[in-house]
Amino acid sequence: MRLLSVPIVLALCVAAAPVSAAGLRDRLYDPGDGVLVVAHRACHRAAPSRGFERAVPENSLAALERCVALGVDLVEIDVRRTSDGQLIIMHDAKVDRTTDGKGRVADQTLAQIQALRLKDGEDEAPPTLEAFLAAARGRILVNIDLKGPYAAEAAAIARRVGATEWVLFKAKARFGAPPLADQALYRDLAFMPMVEAKAARTPGDLADIAQRQASGARQIPAIETVALRGPGFAAVRDAARAARIRVWTNTLAAKGWRGVLDQSGDRQALRDPDRAWGRLIAQGASIVQTDHPAALLDYLERRGLRGHAPSAIATAGLPPSS
């Protein structure tokens, strides 16, 4: 079964010491249990404040190990399918940028992909989805961005490694669509809808998408906001609050002039974290995806926002919620 033609993301929640697997799932489903940190393409950047002086390859097992060591809540990875139908970890459609090879992932077999080596790595090939999940199991939450209609295949792999209780799929929700979490594919999995700015014309309609998605028979843990700003973000946030679910936001740096002007992205956050990360958290975000997870962890710990309810923001002196 192939579900939807939109980008779908799978997240696998597994135990990470000292929190039990059930405890990690409980944190994800509890909007009052502090701010969760998501590492985009895993923890590949240097983190000197935490003792990691050099970078490692993105989407690699080495980057996974760094996420575990840092205490990141979720690690995000990207999944593509080889010519012989195997799911591997790779962001780009081509292997050129991140490996010593050339060509499209879709044109190469699994054996050809595993003969490659990741740049700046320690003799590591691009891992398979199954190998990555097996390495992460029992240690960290994993967020998987599927770069094609691979939902059924990814779900089968999650079931094969015994992770169904902590699997979180997500997909873009359309205006008027019924609760996607109630679809048959998710019978033993969790689901999180994504609400993007272009999904509706008015804040009220964006709120309606969020309310409808949260009204199904199956509970959802969060709603991901995609390019939502101002009244649109506030409308979805309020709907999420009413449903007692988390709000996920991304601070990934935009390209070109948008990145220069973006006051809530990673570039701004590294210069002035209160104005970027702090303002988003004060506005209601409780899951933040970033390319700089160590810096975000440092910031949250300084502000006392790790393992504390977001109401702690009021005493942390962050910018007020809109």
Question: Which of 132-141, 188-197, 312-321 shows the lowest per-residue confidence on average (mean pLDDT)?
Answer: 312-321
Mean pLDDT value of segment 10-14: 40
Q: What's residue 35's pLDDT?
A: 95
66 neighbors 47 (Cβ within 8 angstroms): yes
pLDDT beyond 80 at 117: yes
The yes-or-no verdict on residue 177 having pLDDT over 80 is yes
| All residues at 6 or more sequence positions from 214 whose CB lies less than 8 Å from its CB, including other chains | 179, 220, 223, 239, 240, 243, 245
pTM value?
A: 0.87
pLDDT at 264 over 80: no
| 18/41: higher pLDDT | 41
pLDDT band at 167 (very low <50, low <70, confident <90, very high): low
In angstroms, rounded to a whole number, what is the distance separating the alpha carbons of residues 66 and 50?
10
**Contact yes or no for 322/307 (Cβ under 8 A):** no
Q: Is the pLDDT of residue 163 over 60?
A: yes
pLDDT at residue 19, as a whole number: 57
Domain ranges of the chain: 8-312
Q: For residues 61-75, give the mean pLDDT.
A: 94
One-character DSSP codes across 90-110: -SSSBSTTTBS--SBGGGS-H
Summarised one tens digit per residue, pLDDT across range 227-263 is 999 999 999 999 999 999 999 999 996 654 444 445 5
Please state, rounded to an integer, the average pLDDT across all residues of the chain.
86
Q: In this structure, how many other beta carbons lie within 10 angstroms of the beta carbon of residue 231?
A: 14
Categorize the per-residue pLDDT at 71 as very low, low, confident or very high, splitting at 50, 70 and 90.
very high
pLDDT of residue 316: 52
**CB 105, CB 91: distance < 8 Å:** no
Q: What would be the CATH architecture of the domain defined by 8-312?
A: Alpha-Beta Barrel (3.20)
CA–CA gap between residue 37 and residue 304 (Å, rounded): 14
Provide the token pair at 262: 């973006």
Q: Compute the radius of gyration of the chain from its Cα atoms.
A: 19
More confident residue, 14 or 101: 101
End-to-end CA distance of the chain: 42
pLDDT for 69 equals 95
**Residue 296, amino acid:** L
At residue 187 the predicted structure's pLDDT band, cuts being 50, 70 and 90, is: confident
- Which strand (E) or helix (H) includes residue 301? helix 293-303
| pLDDT for the residue 166 | 74
pLDDT band at 303 (very low <50, low <70, confident <90, very high): very high
**pLDDT for 248:** 96
* pLDDT attached to residue 21: 57
Q: Which residue has the higher pLDDT, 176 or 15?
A: 176
Highest mean pLDDT among 11-20, 102-111, 133-142, 301-310: 102-111
